[in-house]
């Protein structure tokens, strides 16, 4: 991809939802994969705290530090040319709005265009947006709260839980978030949230009716050290190489062929 290619902005991403174009997203953690993902035409790259599991070998995301996130964000951003980059605020880096802003600034200085935080932390979201920092919310399964949840389980199956997630999604949008990730929620709930929200909703294990999809890169390339989750798919199967697999994923998302029913709840 040549240097003249325009880097996507949040306005470009929002416009995709408005015109009904599915948004493709993958996690990225280093410059080499970033360049390949970018070349393959993926719209969003998420520098996820999932690096704690797929890069560092931990069994959860909780060990990841803000220093880790800034390091990997910088590496990813050095190699991308077009993709919009979102970076995770890791565990306990946003206990208050001020601390959230201080840590978000480290990720923005590393090259991120947006930060993502888990839960309906509307106080932090408002404060960050007021400081000029774009925010992506994250609802449903919250990996940073895994000890409180008691495991990696689908969220929102019960009517009261579904209503809570929908209410929180509206609150996150009202607080100023410009994107929302929904993880491991029933497809019908995710579809309803996507209809009610003006901002793009990116799903992971949340069905095909979301405005876009994200997967952990190592899962979809079938090279992770952990068991691939049900909502993912091995795109390396039948592909001649990594870039071909990523292009196949992008096309499947754009054409609405992924996720299929077997990848949804």
Query: What residues does 27 pair with on adjacent strands?
Result: 46
Predicted TM-score (pTM) of the model is: 0.96
Distance CA(50)–CA(53), nearest Å, equals 5
Distance CA(100)–CA(104), nearest Å, equals 6
For 67, residues 6+ apart whose C-beta sits below 8 A from its C-beta are: none
Supply the pLDDT for residue 1: 45
- Detail the DSSP E strand segments found in 154-211: 179-183, 201-204
Mean pLDDT (10-residue bins), the chain, 265 residues: 80 98 98 98 98 95 98 98 98 98 98 98 98 98 94 95 98 98 98 98 98 97 87 96 98 98 94
Distance CA(127)–CA(90), nearest Å, equals 18
Contact 216, 246 (CB under 8 A): no
Distance CA(166)–CA(100), nearest Å, equals 24
Supply the pLDDT for residue 3: 55
* Domains of the chain (ranges, CATH numbers): 10-257 (3.20.20.60)
In 3D space, the residue among 222, 227, 219, 135 whose CA is nearest the CA of residue 181 turns out to be 135
**Does the bond joining 259 to the residue before it have cis omega, within 30 degrees of 0?**
yes
Contact 51, 29 (CB under 8 A): yes
Query: What residues does 18 pair with on adjacent strands?
Result: none
> Which residues participate in catalysis according to the annotation?
183
Supply the pLDDT for residue 4: 74
Question: Residue 41 to residues 25, 63, 80, 240: CA-CA distances in angstroms?
Answer: 10, 31, 11, 17
Contact 155, 185 (CB under 8 A): yes
For 68, residues 6+ apart whose C-beta sits below 8 A from its C-beta are: 51, 52, 56, 90
């Amino acid at each position: 991809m040549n240097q003249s290619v325009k880097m996507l902005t949040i306005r470009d991403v929002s416009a995709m939802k408005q015109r009904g174009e599915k948004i493709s997203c993958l996690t990225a953690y280093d410059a080499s994969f970033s360049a390949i993902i970018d070349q393959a035409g993926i719209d969003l790259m998420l520098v996820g705290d999932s690096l704690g599991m797929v890069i560092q070998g931990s069994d959860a995301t909780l060990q990841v530090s803000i220093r880790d996130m800034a390091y990997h964000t910088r590496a990813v951003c050095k190699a991308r040319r077009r993709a919009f980059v979102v970076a995770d605020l890791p565990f306990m880096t946003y206990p208050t709005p001020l601390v959230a802003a201080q840590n978000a600034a480290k990720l923005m200085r590393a090259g991120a265009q947006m930060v993502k935080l888990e839960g309906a932390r509307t106080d932090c979201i408002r404060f960050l947006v007021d400081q000029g920092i774009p925010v992506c919310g994250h609802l449903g399964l919250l990996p940073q709260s895994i000890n409180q949840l008691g495991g990696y389980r689908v969220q929102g199956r019960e009517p009261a839980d579904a209503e809570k997630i929908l209410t929180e999604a509206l609150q996150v949008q009202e607080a100023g978030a410009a994107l929302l990730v929904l993880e491991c929620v029933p497809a019908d709930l995710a579809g309803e949230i996507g209809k009610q929200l003006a901002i793009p909703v990116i799903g992971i294990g949340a069905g095909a009716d979301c405005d876009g999809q994200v997967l952990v890169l190592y899962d979809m390339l079938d090279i992770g050290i952990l068991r691939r989750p049900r909502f993912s798919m091995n795109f390396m199967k039948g592909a001649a190489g990594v870039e071909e697999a990523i292009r196949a994923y992008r096309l499947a998302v754009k054409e609405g062929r992924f996720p299929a029913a077997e990848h949804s709840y």
